[in-house]
Amino acid sequence: MILLQPFGALGRATLQALASIGRVAIFAFQTLGHMIRPPFYGREFALALLNIGWLSLPVVGLTAIFTGAALALQIYSGGARFNAEAVVPQIVAIGMVRELGPVLVGLMIAARVTSSIAAEIATMKVTEQIDALVTLSTNPMKYLVAPRVLAALIVVPLLVAVGDIIGIFGGWIVATGSLGFNPAAYLKNTVDFLETLDIISSLVKGCAFGGLAALMGCYYGMHSGRGAQGVGRATKGSVEAAAILILAANFLLTGAFFSL
């Protein structure tokens, strides 16, 4: 019997994982339902747009500019091994737009926004503010969850677009400042090389990652345990789940766009 115990534990863990996936899926469908059915809370939506979008710009900008700059240096150094230094503009552009821009913005949003949403909603739950909402005839899913997820779906693709541009600009600064590239030629090569599908894939990824990040923050916040420990666990769990889901979704979406 002792030999079978690991299999029992594996079975229980699998069942728990499947149950969690089911709960998140139900939560996501409920959120979708609340996003399209009135009442709508304009003030909450506007605040979420401001918090997720505008206030994330500095962190997104700084992440993108340093990544673009480092990418240019890496490609120049790596390309030099087979006399391909000239491809820096093209590879920086494709690297930022297709992959690094959306993924890094997604992960920064997971760190900044998912954690903040989870901690805020979990604290509201612990201090009975969620119960108070219900007694005041306000559905917490409509008032707290739907505006945040909708705002993230709209604003994160825009952040990704900004991140892509700043990342390319970071590469341009390094390439023209210290690697001897011609500024105008660098930009022309970048623009000529990028295809519409690259940009579409970047924005679609941004939309998916934003939705996942906000959804995980709301889900963990709404299902938080009691006390400070409950809030801490909800925050930690939300960031872990959002980061893993963003990376997994990136793999699936990249595969889907490659097959086009």
Partner 1 sequence: MIDLVHVEKSFGNNHVLRGVDLTIERGSSMVIIGGSGTGKSVLLKSVLGLVTPDAGVITLDGKDVSTGDRDAFLARFGMLFQGAALFDSLTVWQNVAFRLLRGSLKRPKDEAREIAIEKLRRVGLKPDVADRFPAELSGGMQKRVGLARAIAAEPEIIFFDEPTTGLDPIMAGVINELIREIVDEMGATAMTITHDMTSVRAIADHVAMLHDGVIQWTGHVRDLDQSGDPFVDQFISGRAEGPIEAVR
Closer to partner 1 at the Cβ: 78 or 230? 230
Among 83, 137, 196, 259, binds partner 1 (CB under 8 A): 137
- Amino acid letter, 112: R
Closer to partner 1 at the Cβ: 132 or 197? 132
Among 10, 134, 185, 197, binds partner 1 (CB under 8 A): 134
Part of the chain binding partner 1 (CB under 8 A), chosen from 30-38, 135-143, 169-177, 206-214:
135-143
- Contact status: 192 vs partner 1 (CB under 8 A): no
CB of 143 to partner 1, least distance (A): 9
Report d(CA 68, CA 140) in Å as an integer. Answer: 40
Closer to partner 1 at the Cβ: 41 or 66? 41
Among 5, 83, 135, 259, binds partner 1 (CB under 8 A): 135
CB of 134 to partner 1, least distance (A): 6
Q: Which two tokens stand for residue 120?
A: 């805020």
- Per this entry, what is the length of the chain? 260
Closer to partner 1 at the Cβ: 47 or 111? 47
Q: Give per-residue burial for 129-157: e unless 16+ CB within 10 Å, then b.
A: ebeebeeeeeebbbbbbbbbbbbbbbbbb
Non-local (6+) Cβ contacts of 106 within 8 A are: 156, 160, 205, 206, 209, 210, 212, 213, 246, 250
- Contact status: 230 vs partner 1 (CB under 8 A): no
Q: Which two tokens stand for residue 129?
A: 């503010």
Instruction: Pick the closest to residue 61 from 187, 176, 154, 167 (CA basis).
Output: 167
> Omega before 39 cis (within 30°)?
yes
Closer to partner 1 at the Cβ: 137 or 259? 137
Report d(CA 182, CA 83) in Å as an integer. Answer: 18
CB of 53 to partner 1, least distance (A): 18
- Amino acid letter, 80: A
- Contact status: 196 vs partner 1 (CB under 8 A): no
Judged by the rule CB under 8 A, the positions of this chain that interact with partner 1 are 39, 41, 47, 124, 127-129, 131-132, 134-138
